[in-house]
Chains A and B, each alone.
Chain A
Amino acid sequence: MVSHDPGTNVGPAPAAPHGGSKRGSSGLPDNPRQDPRQTSASGARRLLDAASGPLHPVARDTLLAAVDVGWADPARLHVEGRRARALLDRSREVVAAGLGVRPGEVSFLPSGPTALERAVDGMAYAARRRGARTVASAVEHSAILVPGRARAAAADDPSLLAEVAVDPTGRLDLESWEAALSAPGGVVAVLQSANGEVGTRQPLEAAREVAAAHGTPLVVDAMASLGRDDVPTAWDVLVGDARSWGGPPLGVLVVREGVRWQWSQARADVEHGRTDVTPWVPLVLAAAEAWQQTAATRADDAGVARGLVDDIRSAAAAVPDTEVVGDPEDRLPHVVTFSSLYVDGEALVDAFDAAGYAVASGSACTSSTLEPSHVLAAMGVLTHGNVRVTLPLPAVSPGLVDDVAAFAAAIAPTVGGVRDRLGVGDL
């Protein structure tokens, strides 16, 4: 009997997760909606905030196809489950090869921030008899700093989280890092490969050398850099988020063999004991596909992005009372941020949005809290009037070069217009 369930009505062989050709057999309409993103022509949207996506177009096709062929629980022993398992294993091999590690070192978690918090928890639990102190830079992801501060507050012991200073470009101060690691009780050090808000790269090799000299393993948060910049090698545990390489939201946790790491609630049968949730295989497949696509064009894409960011940096720096922050050279290729005096970030984001540009901001006025970006604050740079650009991959946004040229030309008049409305043009 032929099943009419679209989820099972596919051939027995695991189809290559490519293309939309499988879509016809699913009974679903082909591409029912128009892609809301348009990147050219007047009145169109220009995407300059790609921190959360959208998907690489090939990964999008893979995801849609995988919904049909890879939906099953990979722990099940039936045909559908085994097929999902095979696809999961293949995807893990792709990601592991891309990161230069073994498949057994790679686990998939529901999100990047979840994986990052788990990375620290596993280090701290494995070393719980030695101490409980975390050393992290002051510009780490909130998934590090917020729980760390909460633990320190709950124990009434501020030493449980050392937040190490950065210089005005956002780069770790290595002397302070050494001093923080010299204090007793340190069990885990955390440093990002590069900052996702301002783009500055961190000195991973030097930081890991110092950490290792004090017997402290290093967690590296590469959520902003994977797929855009060289894969870091100086780490004991590595964390990524498939969104940075054009994939769906998916956490990647890599624990190097031999590193003492244990999750207190581990179930050995799920993702090597590093999570309690089996990943949804279509997401993993799409992440692996996006990795292959992005890795194949990375050198060229990074070169393009680097030049475009240089253009934005020059245009913003020419605007009166505007600071372009972050390291101008030793940085991610695709991230740039600047702050303009006397304007609020929300007004700037709104003005750019009305003109067709999607940009982000680290200013307090644009967030739900009163606190501005902890990254800008730690750098000692202006927190108001902030605009953050995260360039999409060229494959995601074919009009990228044109979009950036138009944006660079729009910065001065947009900032000037907001200043005029606020009556601060004379200050």
Chain B
Amino acid sequence: MSADDEAVVDARGERCPLPVIRLARVVAERPGVRVVTVLATDPAAAHDIPAWCRMRGHRFVEARAEAGHAAYVVEVVRPSTPAGAP
């Protein structure tokens, strides 16, 4: 897996729904990305990132506690559910 396959979204200090918006933005704009790690301090991200994965057909890999924040790892499943699908 090359560096182009992976992306890190640093959403520390940002409040919901920004961490999820930035995650979705990376997945939409970088078709080669297969794994995204979101760094977040907002407690809602712990619920909303797995929920986003379920709603959009991606795989939530894990949540890790790191120093002062959490890291959420998402495996992108392509083709992902298109934007606007109910």
Interface of A toward B, CB cutoff 8 Å? 317-323, 341-344, 363-365, 370-372, 376-377, 380-385, 422, 424, 426-427
Contacts and interface: CB of A to CB of B under 8 A. Distances in A.
Nearest to A370: B43
Interface in B24-70: 24-25, 28, 42-44, 46-48, 50-52, 54-55
A341 B49 CA distance: 11
Contacts of B86: 317-322
B39 to A, nearest CB: 16
> For B21, B42, B47, B55, which residue has the most chain A Cβ atoms within 10 angstroms?
B47
A344 B17 contact: yes
B43 A341 contact: no
B55 A323 contact: yes
Determine the main DSSP class of A at the interface with B. loop
B14 to A, nearest CB: 11
B16 interface: yes
Nearest to B84: A320
Interface string B10-25: 0000011100110011
A385 B46 CA distance: 15
> For B16, B24, B42, B43, which residue has the most chain A Cβ atoms within 10 angstroms?
B16
List the 7 closest pairs (A to B, CB-CB), nearest first: A384-B17, A382-B51, A384-B16, A427-B24, A320-B84, A372-B44, A377-B47
Nearest to B18: A344
A384 B24 contact: no
> For B16, B17, B28, B47, which residue has the most chain A Cβ atoms within 10 angstroms?
B17
B85 interface: yes
Determine the main DSSP class of B at the interface with A. helix
B1 interface: no
Contact of A427 (B16, B28, B54): B28
B50 A383 contact: no
A424 B24 CA distance: 9
A381 B25 CA distance: 21
B83 interface: yes
Contact of A384 (B20, B83, B84): B20
Contacts of A365: 15-16
A341 B25 CA distance: 13
A372 B84 CA distance: 25
Interface of B: 15-17, 20-21, 24-25, 28, 42-44, 46-48, 50-52, 54-55, 83-86
A382 B52 contact: yes
Given A344-B17, A365-B15, A382 B43 contact: no
Contacts of B54: 380
B44 A422 contact: no
Contacts of B52: 341, 382
A372 B17 CA distance: 11
A376 B28 CA distance: 27
Contact of A385 (B17, B25, B43, B85): B17
Given A342-B17, A363-B16, A427 B25 contact: yes
B55 A372 contact: no
24 contacts: A320-B83, A320-B85, A321-B55, A321-B83, A321-B84, A321-B86, A341-B55, A363-B44, A364-B16, A364-B42, A364-B44, A370-B42, A370-B44, A380-B47, A381-B47, A382-B52, A382-B55, A383-B16, A384-B20, A385-B17, A424-B21, A424-B24, A427-B21, A427-B24
Contact of B17 (A319, A343, A376): A343
Contacts of A384: 16-17, 20, 44, 48
A110 B46 CA distance: 36
A371 B55 contact: no
A426 B83 contact: yes
Contacts of A424: 21, 24
Contacts of A422: 21
